[in-house]
């Protein structure tokens, strides 16, 4: 029994891991282990022999079991120590420099514009970029023969041979969303719609895809005075200046009557744009009172309701505010350009927190 004891106590002491220890346990005190086999021999002994051997075997079993338990705990401690050693890290090290993505100026400006108009009670509406020519033209009082259709360099979608329905178009402006939101909510309403628009045009200030923001406010007694105030507030907030001078120039759009193009006073002195001072004027948007036919197309009674609308180029006001000389660069996906003109991802523009900082 002493041999058995010494053998297992040594084996346990030398066990390298828990799996090895378990093998030893099975071999020693498992159901068919050596100690169990010895216990079976008790049956063949005389009662006197049994009285000595029985307690001795039980004591041996207990001793091996406690050695196993102690060794198991020691192995677990050692494993934890090893793990703590290998997973050690120096939390005082500086962080690695990281290449961070940036918010594209178009997205940034869209957020800025949205924040400003949200403050004035405008919600954001959306419409499809592929639309019918009814929404893009007819409903906006631009009938088939109207020269505005040709001027807009429209992209027409191809129809299958024999399909004679009028083609879909890539929307040439965000104005069709006026009709869609009138249909959706009726009057009164106050929405802006920022989004992508398309025209077949390409030079330093034109790209085939660009962005506009449409504005629409309809109520019983909305006038040009409201339009003027809203636009002045917008321009002041957007360009982050205290005073602006707006000039309303009589113009013509089929979907507004009267119509006005709006210019802001600015100076180009020293090659940089300053808004609110100087003797130059910069056109930034088209606007007017919504034409009765447009209200009707949107299902709103022009005898009861009236309102103003405006349309502004997002890319254009982004170029002006952030000094981007060539519109095409917006869509080149040049990483160096994006890092230079991009905005920090977590700087969400708000009126109280600052638009662009
Ligand atoms: N849709 C016009 C364009 O793309 C811009 C515009 C002008 C929108 C006057 C309006 C508006 O809502 O009233 O050039």
Q: Ligand 1: distance of its center to the CA of 341 in Å?
A: 28
Q: Which domain holds residue 80?
A: 2-86
348 domain residue, yes or no: no
* 292 and 170 within one domain: yes
pLDDT in tens, 256-287: 999 999 998 888 888 777 888 899 998 999 99
pLDDT of residue 170: 96
pLDDT at 99: 67
Query: Is residue 346 predicted with pLDDT exceeding 80?
Result: no
Are 121 and 81 part of one and the same domain? no
Q: Which atom of ligand 1 is closest in space to residue 215's alpha carbon?
A: 12
Nearest CA, atom 6, ligand 1: 311
Whole-prediction pTM value?
0.72
Question: Are residues 68 and 134 located together in one domain of the fold?
Answer: no
Helix, strand or coil for residue 117?
helix
**How many CA within 13 A on the CB side of residue 218?**
28
Count Cβ atoms below 10 Å from residue 237 Cβ, excluding itself.
Answer: 19
Residues 49 and 167 in one domain: no
Mean pLDDT of the chain: 91
pLDDT tens, residue by residue, 66-109: 999 999 999 999 999 999 999 998 889 888 877 678 999 999 99
Q: Are residues 82 and 111 in the same domain?
A: no
DSSP track, 252-283: EETTEEEEEEEEEEEE-GGG--EETSSSEEEE
Q: Which of 171, 173, 181 to mutate to test the pocket of ligand 1 (most atoms within 8 A of CB)?
A: 173
The tokens describing 250, both together, are 């009589």
Strand bridging mode 274-275 / 256-267: antiparallel
Q: Which pLDDT belongs to residue 357? A: 60
**Which ligand 1 atom minimizes the distance to the CA of 197?**
4
How would DSSP label each residue in 188-208?
Answer: SEEEEEEEEEE-S--BTTB-S
* Total count of domains within the chain: 2
Same domain? For 28 and 76 the reply is yes
Give the count of alpha carbons within 13 A of 311, CB side only.
19
Tell me whether the omega of the peptide bond preceding residue 268 falls within 30 degrees of 0, making it cis: no
Q: Which residue has the tokens 């592929």?
A: 130
CATH number for 266: 3.30.930.10
- Give domain status of residue 99, yes or no: no
């Amino acid at each position: 029994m002493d041999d058995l004891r010494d053998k297992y106590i040594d084996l346990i002491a030398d066990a390298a891991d828990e799996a090895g220890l378990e093998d030893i346990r099975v071999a020693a005190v498992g159901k068919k282990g050596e100690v169990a086999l010895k216990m079976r021999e008790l049956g063949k002994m005389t009662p006197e022999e049994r009285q000595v051997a029985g307690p001795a075997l039980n004591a041996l079993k207990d001793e091996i079991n406690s050695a196993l338990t102690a060794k198991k705990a020691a192995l677990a401690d050692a494993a934890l120590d090893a793990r703590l050693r290998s997973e050690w890290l120096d939390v005082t090290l500086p962080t690695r420099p990281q290449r961070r993505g940036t918010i594209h100026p178009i997205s940034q400006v869209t957020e800025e514009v949205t924040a400003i108009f949200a403050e004035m009670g405008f919600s954001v509406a959306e419409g499809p970029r592929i639309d019918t020519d009814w929404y893009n033209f007819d409903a906006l009082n631009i009938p088939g023969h109207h020269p505005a259709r040709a001027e807009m360099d429209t992209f027409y979608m191809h129809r299958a041979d024999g399909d004679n329905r009028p083609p879909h178009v890539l929307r040439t402006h965000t104005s069709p969303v006026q009709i869609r939101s009138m249909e959706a909510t009726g009057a009164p309403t106050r929405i802006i719609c920022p989004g992508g628009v398309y025209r077949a045009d390409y030079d330093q200030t034109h790209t085939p895809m660009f962005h506009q923001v449409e504005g629409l406010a309809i109520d019983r007694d909305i006038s040009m005075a409201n339009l003027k105030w809203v636009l002045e507030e917008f321009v002041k907030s957007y360009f982050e200046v205290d005073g602006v001078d707006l000039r309303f120039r009589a113009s013509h759009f089929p979907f507004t009557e009267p119509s006005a193009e709006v210019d802001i006073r600015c100076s180009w002195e020293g090659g940089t744009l300053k808004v609110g001072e100087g003797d130059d004027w910069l056109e930034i948007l088209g606007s007017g009172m919504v034409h009765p036919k447009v209200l009707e197309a949107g299902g709103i009674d022009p005898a009861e309701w009236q309102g103003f609308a405006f349309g502004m180029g997002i890319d254009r006001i982004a170029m002006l505010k952030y000094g981007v000389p060539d519109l095409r660069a917006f869509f080149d996906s040049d990483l160096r350009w994006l890092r230079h003109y991009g905005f920090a991802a977590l700087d969400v523009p708000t009126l109280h927190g600052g638009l662009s900082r």
